[in-house]
Amino acid sequence: MTSPADVARTLRDRILRLELPSGTPLREIALAEELGCSRRTVREALLTLGREGLVAHERNRGARVRSFGPDDIRDLYLVRQMLEEAGAAACADAPAERIAAVTDALGELREAARTAQDSVRHAIADMRFHGSVIALLGSPRLDQVFALAGGEMAFAIRLLQRNEVDERIVYQEVLADHERIHGAVQARDPEAAVAAVRAHIEENRAILIRLAGRSARG
């Protein structure tokens, strides 16, 4: 494994699998020895993951798997809420192929959740579903804004999924919010679609803030 992209891919997968918990130090020398590459390669990979929001670089402390504080969650979900509510509001006039893309994304999400609720695949499918709602706006630039927050959002969703499994919340219940969003989009009912998106985001934001607070207390 010699390229920064390969190292970044390996570490990204470990982080999203929650094998490397929030706050875990990422030592260049140890990682270089483990992965069979140079420290420079590891450093470049960590910089990539830093840009994705998965790794935090701290002065005089090096790199760590990022941790979410309550303010981080509020800010991240503010971006998501603004984008996704705008997408939901656009469902009345969106072209049929974009509406169909939401249906396709829900189908992928159902299969991923059924196959492995606590998994990276499920998190990515969840992201794609919400991205398909934002895509109803037909704005490549706004799609890109959401994609730029994708690493942080996928990590946050993984924390939610692990909590859902720990709390014995079955995947059918988890999918209920997505079904409501999809149903409103299919009906081309912008008020219902925005309300369903808002309820889903507000519920998950509150859970993540509680988890972030619990983590901060140790």
Distance CA 144, CA 42 (A): 27
- For residue 120, the tally of other CB atoms under 10 A from its CB is 19
**Torsions phi, psi of 69, nearest 5?**
-95, 165
CATH topology of domain 4-65: Arc Repressor Mutant, subunit A (1.10.10)
Residue 206 binned pLDDT confidence (cut-offs 50, 70, 90): very high
Which superfamily is assigned to 70-216 in CATH? GntR ligand-binding domain-like (1.20.120.530)
Residue-level pLDDT at 62: 86
Tens digits of per-residue pLDDT, 84-110? Answer: 999 999 999 999 999 999 999 999 999
Task: Evaluate whether 4-65 and 70-216 have a shared fold.
Answer: no
> Distance from first CA to last CA of the chain, Å, rounded?
35
Reported as a single tens digit per residue, the pLDDT across 128-184 is 999 999 999 999 999 999 999 988 999 999 999 999 999 898 989 989 999 999 999
Tokens of 170: 């079955």
**pLDDT of the residue at 215:** 59
Look up the pTM and report it.
0.90
Residue 205 gets which letter from DSSP?
H
**Domains in the chain: boundaries:** 4-65, 70-216
